[in-house]
Amino acid sequence: MIEIRELRCAFGGVVALDGVSLALGEGERRAVIGPNGAGKTTLINTLAGEIQPTGGAVRLAGQDITRLRAWQRARLGLAHVYQRTELFSPLSARENVALAVAARRGPYRIFGAPPRAESAEADAMLARVGLAGREAVAVRALSHGERRQLELAVALAQRPRVLLLDEPTAGMSPLETARITELVAGLDRTLTILIVEHDMDVVFRLADRVTVLHEGRVIADGTAADVRGDMRVHDVYLGKAVSVA
């Protein structure tokens, strides 16, 4: 579904991605882990089209999207949940989701109220992420955890083929983390998911395969069990995380 070949990304002298190759089949759930500065968020942002790579190629369902802009990739079925909440703060939860629903139907419907079906679809999506009853609340009045749930609702309302999740549980309480994890685990199995996450419980609950990034390179790639047993991974990252957990 998504294929990354020899992706390179440098900011001045700093090489954030140094020839990363990855391939995700349709419906695959892949976690990318690694220490801070490994290039995980750069990888997600490059896939989403927010950063232009300095080399390499990205294909989505066989189509080369390396040079496409973020909005064109979104139209092709790529949805992005940011590490830091990126929402429309004076608008209600319903309106935030409605913008994602309306994006699929084209923005140039310049006259008259949006069709009722669209706000019904937005409400259904909010109920799915556990925000039923909060539809009319403005984003700025929502709690941090609720905003993360809303982020997910907005991304799902795009009806994506590939979902890019950049630390979806960042800053959440254990209860909220568990709720979001189960929510993602319960998503349609045909949806391809690439998730960057620090919480190893979340990673091993969700991912079919795990890729470990270190200093912009893939140093391990395999099933969750393989990666758990890989000594190099323990050295750079897991050892620390496991001992904390």
Shortest distance, position 225 Cβ to other proteins, whole Å:
34
Q: State yes or no: residue 152 binds other proteins (CB under 8 A).
A: no
How would you list the strands of the sheet with 209-214, edge to edge? 78-81, 162-166, 192-196, 29-33, 209-214, 217-223
Indicate the SS3 state at residue 159.
Answer: coil
Classify residue 107 by burial, with Cβ atoms within 10 Å: 0-12, 13-18, 19+. Answer: exposed
Q: Which two tokens stand for residue 25?
A: 């089949």
**Cβ(2)–Cβ(24) under 8 Å?**
yes
Q: State yes or no: residue 107 binds other proteins (CB under 8 A).
A: yes
Q: State yes or no: residue 69 binds other proteins (CB under 8 A).
A: yes
Binder among 75, 144, 189, 240 for other proteins (CB under 8 A):
75
Q: State yes or no: residue 190 binds other proteins (CB under 8 A).
A: no
Of residues 20 and 48, the one with the C-beta less far from other proteins: 48
Q: Which two tokens stand for residue 65?
A: 């999207």
Binder among 11, 14, 89, 141 for other proteins (CB under 8 A):
89
Binder among 24, 51, 79, 153 for other proteins (CB under 8 A):
79
User: Which of 160, 168, 161 lies closest to 185, judged by CA?
Assistant: 168
Binding residues for other proteins, rule CB under 8 A, total 36
Q: State yes or no: residue 224 binds other proteins (CB under 8 A).
A: no
Instruction: Tell me the HSE value of 28 on the side-chain side, using a 13 A CA sphere.
Output: 18
Binding residues vs other proteins (CB under 8 A): 48, 50, 69-72, 74-75, 79-80, 82, 86-91, 95, 98-100, 102-105, 107-114, 118, 154, 158
